[in-house]
Amino acid sequence: MTNNEDSVLRVIFADDDPLYLEQESILLRRQSSLDLAGTANSGTALLELAARIEWDVALLDIGMPVLDGIATLQRLLEQRPEAVVLMLTAFERPETLRQALGAGAKGFLTKDTPSGEIAELIHRAYQGKTVLDDRPLDMLRDYYLRGEPEPVDPEFARRLAELPPRLRKVADCLAQSMTNREISRATGLAENTVGSYVRDVITELGARRGEIAVKMGQLELKPENYQ
């Protein structure tokens, strides 16, 4: 990964629709803050590409055949646990959205998102935020308002309740998809201390960084809170 948060980010992009892949690639190449390092028409081809070249962020279509976006995401994270991966879709169910975020995706975007906005969201994800564009946000909100949330993980809830106060503060910040720098500003802790605490929270909760926000959201967004 590059070290400068403001630098041009190298993106690899996979989609099985050749027309969309070509059109979106043209638009992404026009973004001065991105370098489209390579494209692939399948999850398998994307994994081969990721192993051959240097890249910062992967953008994956979630609905690819054979090896879909979530399976590709999981393989990427097995090879490179710190990878920044965003999922791209025309339309998906809330269950799939949560599955992708729970598997470690840093964001979920729809295919009608303007390329300039995609570039901005890619940079935010690279800085440590979990990013969603408007439709996935609305989809999650409506899903919870209908009173159909996935049952809370009792083991996660127990571990969260047992966190010492210093780690619970950091966990609450992670639930808001804050970067380490933002957590440092919010808590007054040194940034290297925040990094250590974040690792401790991940270990204690037994969940990935992106998964923590989803699971804590399940604890907070209960149907009775909206009645």
pLDDT digit string, tens, across residues 153-192: 789 889 999 999 999 999 988 877 677 887 888 889 998 9
pLDDT digits (tens, 9 = 90+) for 12-58: 999 998 988 999 999 999 999 999 999 999 999 999 999 999 999 99
Does the pTM surpass 0.85? The reply is no
| Assigned CATH topology for domain 154-226 | Arc Repressor Mutant, subunit A (1.10.10)
| Assigned CATH topology for domain 9-145 | Rossmann fold (3.40.50)
Return the bridge partners of 34, or none. 9
**Arithmetic mean of pLDDT, 145-153:** 58
Provide the residue ranges of all domains of the chain, joining segments of one domain with +.
Answer: 9-145, 154-226
pLDDT score recorded for residue 132:
80
